[in-house]
A and B are shown apart, each in its own frame.
Chain A
């Protein structure tokens, strides 16, 4: 594996809430690393640390021999980090085309004219070519999630960070997203992909890492990790999920002391 990103002993806390205690991992070029973990495990926080919008208390993040934690958000974007947001953050009063243009122009520090070809390619990839002049604020959820990927891709990233781009989508929509990710991967981009949808982890990733209790508990081949007792204990079998399944089965209302509000 040709490693492009190495994280060592990353820690983040909010007051007394030690969300990440020590996280370490490696990401290879052209590799898709799945990240799973219970709600509130700190998956999004980890992505925020990598893209620079969240400061780490300690740790190291090495990319091309440089310590990424010393770089600003803009420097990281221009050095090759693209990301999506769990709750899409497109520019609602701008068109799909303009949204992608922002990434192409400022993520690469190029002129608008020189960026149009890039945007054209990306729009084709994410399947929004037909909607390029629609305002982002008017798009449906699937389209906004695709646009998130598009905005991240136009900046020519070396590392792409995906935060639940398949969450909330129907099965056939998930298949489409899987196909998009497959095509991105084939161009040699390293992808870190947070997702709760198990299908994506099993068929869309090369490796899966379980993030729980503030650390990377295990990582390995998708089938191995998914079948491991750790995943059963902290994730699939966690109190939240058992409660949720019960409620689905019996149609019971919210129970006292459950963790609904965390979602």
Chain B
């Protein structure tokens, strides 16, 4: 093939890719028109979990921040929604805004102690933070202790609206990570993913870059928490701050492919469908999910997307730099 041919087929491929992406987004946005109520419910979960997975991927896959504590932010989102709408009679928009402010402040505050830790100590640190927040909410009269709160205002939200909200969050999470990776910060993140110590020697500010990722991920997970609890409509400390959230984020990213943009998309879909299916086998579900994770790690250590990329070099969202552009 001549140079021109290679170029034109490359352009064709890019054209096909963006065409497929746009068509998929339109088809998904129109789902409420043709999909069943069940499909819409599944959609809400898939896209919410996609947002969670994508953010956990930004933390663990690129910044090396393996957190088992980000359920704290889901809980914070859930309780912000409950307190703003129930205790103060505020609206959903207000809940989102306030949750963002709280998330940024809270992640800044906890970043001071936990960023002093590294590796597995960081992971344990995040977990301890989230357990402490859980304890605090359990003993907080204002939020009704362990008994929880009914988010009454969320009872009458049409499922279609929640679906569109979740879809938007899912798409924005993917787009956000994509544009971050295309930016100057993304170059440093990819270098950090491959070798943090070498990245620092080349002039990359590890602390600053990690902190920015931490703030972004924490905030986005909080927003997703608000949306998830607009659907659940009832919040108790145990489930809202439960480690299950973190486990699902880990599962989604590890199965789909850590450090890839596409990974969490595949991972979230697989996770939600598996959970639906395993609903019929209570008690077995954790064992089955765990076994699947182990098998994938053994067969494809970099997850499904890592294996596809390794074999065929295929990427849906390429962030490769070129000399010419």
Please list the residues of chain A having a beta carbon within 8 angstroms of any beta carbon in chain B. Answer: 51-53, 73-74, 77-78, 83, 85, 89-95, 97-98, 101-103, 105-109, 111-112, 116, 119-120, 132-133, 151, 155
Contact = CB atoms under 8 A, between A and B. Distances in A.
Nearest to A123: B323
B198 to A, nearest CB: 4
A120 B323 contact: yes
Contact of A51 (B191, B201, B321, B322): B201
Contact of B200 (A74, A120, A132, A133): A74
Contacts of A111: 184
Given A74-B203, A105-B184, A112-B184, A98 B198 contact: no
Interface of B: 184, 187-188, 190-191, 193-195, 197-205, 259, 320-323
B187 A98 contact: yes
Contact of A97 (B184, B191, B202, B323): B323
A77 B259 CA distance: 26
A103 B194 contact: no
Given A91-B191, A93-B193, A93-B194, A106 B203 contact: yes
A74 B204 contact: yes
B203 A53 contact: no
Contact of A89 (B193, B195, B321): B195
B202 A106 contact: yes
A119 B187 CA distance: 14
Contact of B203 (A78, A90, A119): A78
A115 to B, nearest CB: 10
Given A91-B195, A98-B190, A155 B202 contact: yes
Contacts of B323: 97, 116, 119-120, 132
B203 A91 contact: no
Contacts of A151: 202
A102 B205 contact: no
A49 to B, nearest CB: 13
Nearest to A48: B201
B310 to A, nearest CB: 10
Given A91-B191, A98-B190, A77 B321 contact: no
A183 to B, nearest CB: 21
* Top 4 closest pairs, chain A to chain B, by CB: A106-B203, A91-B194, A89-B198, A77-B203
Nearest to B209: A106
A73 B203 CA distance: 7
A94 B191 contact: yes
Given A97-B323, A98-B187, A98-B320, A109 B194 contact: no
A91 B197 CA distance: 11
Given A92-B194, A95-B321, A98-B321, A77 B201 contact: yes
A154 to B, nearest CB: 9
B200 A73 contact: yes
12 contacts: A53-B200, A74-B205, A77-B200, A85-B198, A89-B201, A91-B190, A91-B194, A91-B198, A102-B187, A102-B199, A105-B184, A106-B188
B197 A155 contact: no
A98 B187 CA distance: 8
A155 B203 contact: yes
Contacts of A116: 323
A73 B206 CA distance: 10
B194 A94 contact: yes
Contact of B190 (A78, A93, A119): A93
A209 B205 CA distance: 33
Contacts of B201: 51-53, 73, 77, 83, 89
